[in-house]
Amino acid sequence: MRRLKAAWRIGWRAALCAFLLAWIFQAIFLSEGRTAAAARGLDWDQLARLEQWRIAWTSGPRELWHTLRLVHPLALAASLLCMLLTILLGVARWRLVLKVQGLDLPWGRAAGITFVAQFFNAFLLGSTGGDIIKALYAARETHHKKAEAVVTVFVDRLLGLWTMLLFAALMMIPNASLLSRRRELGAPALMIALMLGGASVVLGVAFWSGLSRRFPRARHWLRKMPKGELLERSLDACRHFGESRGFLLKAVGLSLLVNLACVLQMMVLSAGLDVSVSSWAWLVIVPMIFCISSLPITPSGLGVRENLFVLMLAVPEIAVPKTAALSLSLLAYASSLFWSLAGGIVYLSLKKKQHLEEVTHEENVAAGE
């Protein structure tokens, strides 16, 4: 029964992913098919539906491939470097989060685990599914601070998501007139605002709430829950982040650099395809798309991300052709997939276990004696 439930959970999301991809490809290929039919002197509206689909799926993929081939090789190389930069900045942020818990993970090991997580991101739900694998590795890296190590993974992701949401919300201000004129942009903007509110509440409660201190019995009932001790340790670990001076500022600063690298990646790809989009528009559209596609809806966010790129870039004020918009999304995903494959190689070669250097308060005191 459990296997059936697990298969169902994975199956319906995979089916949704396939449906969304088929939907966007069908819409774009039909547009290309109409153009191809007109070039042959055919009246598109007089053709049977099956004939329309045949022309669409014959000419559409060819036109998409032609558009993808137009991208300049230097733009592809720059896109790969931008993607690598986001990964390395993520490693730096995770190490910063680990140190708050008194855990020191060497750069090489942290990078290896992050690349493995990137590999699993390619087919797990959302664009953050690899964090589950990262958390499992983090727990295996320590004898005595398993709960704290796992918490660092999710706090790292929460801070990254919260910063990107905040970045998108701030960029909505100079783009307010554009967002208000088009429902295709306004609806995602509203979703970002709601996500930012929710993430802010979670962040505030995790770092600073101290609810259990105001309600002493809360801890008593928490301990009675399944895995109650681990939950209590996780809550205590979260409090350390709120108490650590300067931590939040440093983590947000690194996250902002990740956001800028993501925007820069789309800028160089659009330049490589000779697609004109203003920098201000990219600054709001990229974080909006990446935040929404990070939700655990489809594997690696596929389908969700492509639909958003086409929907948002095709508005008259931006006027990117649908085929080019889809190409931009696929090229960005290809850069991510390239480093996912590199992560697969790391996964095959990564040692099974290597313990963190656990820097506890007692050890520091002993060292000073």
Per the CB < 8 A criterion, the answer to whether 65 and 92 are in contact is: no
**Tens of pLDDT along 299-332?**
667 778 888 998 999 999 998 988 888 889 888 8
- Does one domain contain both 272 and 284? yes
Residues 202 and 287 in one domain: yes
Last residue of one domain, picked from the residues 50, 69, 88: 69
How far apart are alpha carbons 269 and 271 in whole angstroms? Answer: 5
The larger pLDDT score, comparing residue 295 to residue 83, is at: 83
What average pLDDT does range 45-71 have in this prediction? 81
| Boundaries of domain holding 251 | 73-358
Is 367 part of any domain?
no
More confidently predicted of 213 and 366: 213
Q: Which residues make Cβ contacts (< 8 Å) with residue 106, sequence separation at least 6? A: none
Co-location of 31 and 138 in the same domain: no
User: Is 364 inside any structural domain?
Assistant: no
- Is the distance from CB of 339 to CB of 118 less than 8 angstroms? yes
Q: Are 241 and 100 in contact (CB under 8 A)?
A: yes
Residue 368 forms part of a structural domain: no
pLDDT, tens only, 110-157:
999 899 888 877 766 545 557 788 888 888 877 778 888 888 888 999
- Is residue 17 located within the same domain as residue 129? no
Residues 136 and 62 occupy one common structural domain: no
Asked whether residue 253 falls in the same domain as residue 331, the answer is: yes
CA–CA gap between residue 178 and residue 173 (Å, rounded): 10
Q: Of 89, 151, 153, whose CA–CA distance to 120 is shortest?
A: 153
171 and 270 housed in the same domain: yes
Reference 83, options 251, 341, 259, 262; nearest CA is: 262
Q: Are residues 205 and 92 in the same domain?
A: yes
Please write the tens of the pLDDT for every residue from 167-225: 999 999 999 998 988 888 999 999 999 999 999 998 888 888 655 555 555 555 545 55
Say if residue 363's pLDDT is above 50. no
Both 185 and 197 in one domain: the answer is yes
At residue 37, the pLDDT reads: 79
Q: Write out the DSSP string of 73-101.
A: HHHHHHHHHHHHHHHHHHHHHHHHHHHHT
- 75 vs 143, which has greater pLDDT? 75
Question: Has residue 7 been placed in a domain?
Answer: yes
Q: How far apart are the first and last CA of the chain?
A: 58
Assign 91 a pLDDT band (cuts: 50, 70, 90): very high
Q: Chain-wide mean pLDDT for the chain? A: 81
Residue 315 per-residue DSSP state = S
Are 12 and 55 in a shared domain? yes
In this prediction, residue 358 carries a pLDDT of 42
Q: Are 303 and 21 in contact (CB under 8 A)?
A: yes
Indicate the helix (H) or strand (E) that contains 104: strand 103-104
Residue 352 makes CB contacts below 8 A (sequence gap 6+) with: 140
**Does the residue 230 lie in any domain?**
yes
pTM given for the model = 0.77
Q: Is residue 56 part of a domain?
A: yes
**pLDDT recorded at residue 159:** 94
Give me the pLDDT at residue 89, please.
Answer: 96
Judged by average pLDDT, the poorest of 113-127, 246-260, 335-349 is: 113-127
Give the span between the Cα atoms of 206 and 152, in whole angstroms.
12
- Read off the pLDDT of each residue in 340-367 and give the average, rounded to a whole number: 58
Residue 171: the pLDDT is 95
Alpha-carbon distance of 112 to 294, in angstroms, equals 22
* pLDDT of res. 287: 95
CA distance 344 to 338: 10
Distance from C-alpha of 315 to C-alpha of 322, rounded to nearest angstrom = 10
The whole-number pLDDT of residue 97 equals: 93
